[in-house]
Amino acid sequence: MKARTRNSSLTNALQILKSFNLEQPEWSLREIAANQNISISTAHRLLKTLEEENFIIHEKQHYKLGTSILRFTNIFIDDLDVLKGMTPYLKSLTKKTGQSAHIAMLSGKEVLYLKKEDGLIQVPLKSHIGRRNPFYATSSGQVIVAFMPDDQRLALLQQTQFIDFTTSTLTTIEQYERSFQQIRQQGVAISREELHMQFMSIAAPIFNKQNEVVASVSIAGKVKALQPNEKAFALSLKQTAEMITQFIQKYGAGSPNDIFNK
């Protein structure tokens, strides 16, 4: 079991809330205790408190997120004026390509999706707002890291343990450095079946006023739909990224957190 500290109860409660996602929206008491490495009695006590505040709902021996989470989510989304301002650009991109479009930023070793516009072509690809994926297996993450300063990029690569999700996933620093060089030359990152078989994505970087990469815009879909139009889609992404860059630069923020928490 986890060692108890003064803030362990709060930490455990937050970790429980973070464990709910689209892949597993419901947990049993035993599953939560095992997943968080805490005792069943501790898990029950924390869940009871969360339930009393409507952060958790208990139904049929399982727990799921409650209405308080929805209230905070709506407040957060509504307050992000910069993301709302990107909506016309994403809608235009989905209209041109027919594919779902995303805005993402780097969060640690993962890429975090901040905004999504569904395309005309619906595909069974889980890329919802708030989802995190390993940066190295997605075009969204790769294009951000490719344009990072050399020392930051190398430090991130050295700290990353690469998992081969498919036979196309790159697994060495040398492979990624060669790929990043090509990304910088092309202005876009193209990920073919590196995270999921039969799917690919294309992404372009978004920069702040200091010409530092802060986010990416991407489209994702089936290989058979994107690959024949790869060049045209890449051009549309670069044009969209440039328009979003111009829009975002008026905020004058120095980092992704400054921009998306403004």
Count helices and strands in the chain by DSSP H and E runs: 11, 8
Q: Which of 26-40, 63-77, 123-137 has the lowest mean pLDDT?
A: 63-77
> What separation in angstroms does the CA of 74 have from each of 6, 14, 49, 66?
31, 19, 22, 13
- In contact, 57 and 65? CB cutoff 8 Å: yes
Contact by Cβ (8 Å): 133, 191: no
Bridge partner list, 191:
201
3-state helix, strand, coil in the chain (%, to 5): 50, 20, 30
For 202-223, the three-class secondary structure string (H helix, E strand, C coil) is: EEEEEECCCCCEEEEEEEEEEH
How many beta carbons lie within 10 A of that of residue 57, not counting itself?
A: 15
The CA angle 108-110-116, to the nearest 5 degrees, is 125
Q: For residue 163, what pLDDT band results from cuts at 50, 70 and 90?
A: very high
165, two tokens: 């999700």
Token readout for 254 is 């120095």
- On whether the pTM is more than 0.85, the answer is no
Give the whole-number percent of the chain exceeding pLDDT 90: 59
Nearest to 18 by CA among 107, 86, 105, 82: 107
> Encoding tokens for residue 69?
């989470």
CA dihedral (41, 25, 20, 27) in degrees, to 10, reads 20
Q: Which range, of 4-8, 102-106, 236-240, averages the lowest pLDDT? A: 4-8
56-106 pLDDT per residue, tens: 889 888 998 886 665 555 555 544 567 778 889 999 999 999 999 999 999
Question: Which residues does 25 contact at the CB level (< 8 Å), separation at least 6?
Answer: 64, 65
Can you give the pLDDT at residue 55?
A: 85
Q: Are strands 56-59 and 132-134 parallel, antiparallel or unpaired?
A: unpaired
Domains in the chain, please, with CATH? 8-71 (1.10.10.10), 80-260 (3.30.450.40)
Higher pLDDT, 82 or 145: 145
CA dihedral 70→75→109→116, nearest 10 degrees, is 80
Q: Mean pLDDT, the chain, as a whole number?
A: 86
